[in-house]
Amino acid sequence: MKSSSVPLSFNPANKAPETGLALYGYNNAVERLFNENPPPPGGTHEPGRVVRVDRTLVLVAAGDDLLHLPYPLDAGIPVTGDWVWLGPNRAGERQIVDVLPRRSQLTRKRAYEDSSAAQVLAANMDTVGVVVPVDRPLTHNRLERTLVAAWDSGATPLVIITKADLANVADDVVGQVILQAAGVDVVTTSAEFGDGIDELLAHVPERGTLVLLGPSGAGKSTLINALAGHAVQDTGAVRSGDFKGKHTTTSRELVPLANGTVLMDTPGVRGFGLYDADSGMEAMFSDVEELSARCRFSDCAHQFEPGCAVQQAIADGVLEERRWNSYLKMQRELAALARRSDAAAQRAYYREWHQKVVVAGKSQRAAERNTAERREDRKSKRKRR
């Protein structure tokens, strides 16, 4: 039986979405994606987009419907934002039969320490909005780490300052963020008064998807309500003592806006373990890597070697030592992750580590032996006297 698919017409001049799927970001680029990845043979197929992934079911937009469907058996694991083909099962009901290739995906290492597995948080977004509230101290390392992941996702990073109406230090925070997030646009917003909303939306392409990423209590849900023009997300208070907020968002979900933009709120992220983020590191720390390339020795460890451009930049105040230490910490994380996922690299690492221990042990024993010999010499000299 020949496979057939139900096409969707896309009319960019028409501001009102034509179908339910157009509400969720269907555009010319997505249409090409479906054309380049036809459905499996057999039955009639239609395109859909994953709106939310729950514990046992997947909420999918298809046509004018929102469908609760079971996880696919052999089509891959879908995440919020995925584009999928739907087709009939044996009972004639709709099911996910294929997950299309992702043009972007936001990934982190799974939370538990010894894991080397990736957790995909979102897919097919155009802009990653890193939310920074001004009502708490700016955590520089968290911002850098999140921006590395945003750059590595394949989407465009954007820093969104929230709660500008709650503090008189907004200008100071914005200035610090602009210096730290070089090359990333920064937008200041106040959801309370609607400030910066239009500027924020201008950074998202037509019918594009924006994912908001930040800690609990950062104002993501409040910002989504301001963007949507009505309450679509619950909001909660933030404790004044430690600035921690309650998780009012418990799952990643697509929220369509009237202008065609699609928002994705995410639960507050306390930590962000990097996963295979070499391109993100290069984009975020290009200044550090350029300095490393200027060192006199190609294998410079950037510690006490002569002609080290990194240490000279730190001494001259050109490179902030905190930023350098943050870079080193993330590089160590990525190297450790690579070793856990690569058995050969892990064996080589432990061989090198063992050699260092053996050498250090020999040196220690030699030092102790030399010390004992010197003591005996001194005793002998005193006896001869």
Q: Tell me the CATH number at 209.
A: 3.40.50.300
Q: What is the pLDDT of residue 299?
A: 87
At residue 271, does pLDDT exceed 70?
Answer: no
Instruction: Name the least confident of 153-167, 170-184, 235-249.
Output: 235-249
Do both 257 and 114 map to the same domain?
A: yes
How far apart CA 69 and CA 23 sit, in angstroms, is: 19
337 and 363 in a common domain: no
96-107 per-position pLDDT tens digit: 999 999 999 988
Q: How many domains does the chain have?
A: 4
Q: Do 128 and 230 have their domain in common? A: yes
Residue 361 token pair: 């042990």
Q: By CB neighbour count within 10 A (0-12 exposed, 13-18 middle, 19+ buried), where does 140 fall?
A: middle
- At residue 37, the pLDDT reads 94
Same domain, 116 and 85: no
For residue 274, is it within any domain? Answer: no
Q: Closest by alpha carbon to 142, among 132, 151, 152?
A: 132
Output the six-digit token pair for 281. 């590191």
Least confident of 40-54, 270-284, 309-323, 354-368: 354-368
User: Residue 320: is its pLDDT beyond 80?
Assistant: yes
- Give the pLDDT confidence of 194-214 residue by residue, as tens digits: 888 899 999 999 889 999 988
The answer to whether residue 78 scores a pLDDT higher than 70 is yes
Q: Is position 276 within any domain?
A: no
Name, in order, each residue with C-beta under 8 angstroms of 192's C-beta and a sequence gap of 6 or more. 163, 165, 166, 222
Which region among 5-9, 176-180, 302-306, 331-335 has the lowest average model confidence (pLDDT)? 5-9
251 — pLDDT class (breaks 50, 70, 90): low
DSSP H helices, the chain, are: 28-36, 140-152, 170-180, 197-202, 220-228, 278-284, 286-293, 309-315, 321-341, 343-384
Closest alpha carbon to 132 in 163, 168, 154: 163
Say whether both 18 and 69 belong to one domain.
Answer: yes
Q: Does 129 share its domain with 236?
A: yes
DSSP-derived secondary structure letter, 210: E
Which residue type does 29 have?
A: A
User: Rounded to an integer, what distance in angstroms lies between the CA atom of residue 197 and that of residue 263?
Assistant: 13
- Listing DSSP states for 1-68 in one string gives ---EE------TT--S-SSTTGGGT--HHHHHHHHHSPPPSSSEEEEEEEEEE-SSEEEEEETTEEEE
- Confidence band (pLDDT; 50, 70, 90) for 50? very high
In a domain, 273, yes or no: no
Task: For Cα atoms 20, 24, 25, give the angle at the middle one, nearest 5 degrees.
Answer: 120
Do residues 110 and 234 share a domain? yes
The answer to whether residue 270 sits within a structural domain is: no
pLDDT recorded at residue 228:
82
Q: What's residue 248's pLDDT? A: 45
Instruction: Give the range of the structural domain holding residue 119, as residue numbers without chain letter.
Output: 105-265
167 and 248 fall within a common domain? yes
Question: What is the band of 312 on the pLDDT scale with cuts at 50, 70, 90?
Answer: very high
The pLDDT confidence band at residue 31, using thresholds 50, 70 and 90, is very high
In a domain, 188, yes or no: yes
pLDDT digits 0-9 by tens, 8-17: 444 444 344 4
Q: Final residue of a domain: which of 46, 80, 99?
A: 99
Q: Which residue has the higher pLDDT, 112 or 385?
A: 385
CA 356 and chain centroid, separation: 35
Domain co-membership, 111 together with 257:
yes
Task: Name the more confident of 252 and 63.
Answer: 63
- At residue 360, does pLDDT exceed 50? no
Residues 110 and 203 occupy one common structural domain: yes
Euclidean distance between CA atoms 184 and 189, whole angstroms: 16
Reported pTM: 0.72
Cα–Cα nearest to 30, from 48, 53, 18: 48
How many Cβ atoms are within 10 Å of 110's Cβ, its own excluded?
Answer: 13
In DSSP terms, 263 is beta-bridged to 210, 255
Residues 117 and 245 in one domain: yes
Q: Give residue for tokens 């909420």.
A: 59
Q: Is residue 156 a part of any domain in this protein? A: yes
Q: Which tops the pLDDT comparison, 377 or 206?
A: 206
Taking the C-alpha atoms of residue 39 and residue 54, their distance in angstroms, rounded to an integer, is: 25
What pLDDT does residue 232 have? 67
Identify whether residues 60 and 179 lie together within a single domain.
no
Q: What's residue 43's pLDDT?
A: 76
Domain boundary among 73, 99, 125: 99
Is 253 within a domain? yes
- pLDDT reported for residue 137: 74
pLDDT at site 143: 85
Mean pLDDT of 223-241: 65
pLDDT of residue 96: 93
Write the CA distances from 195 to 37, 128, 222, integer angstroms. Answer: 41, 20, 13
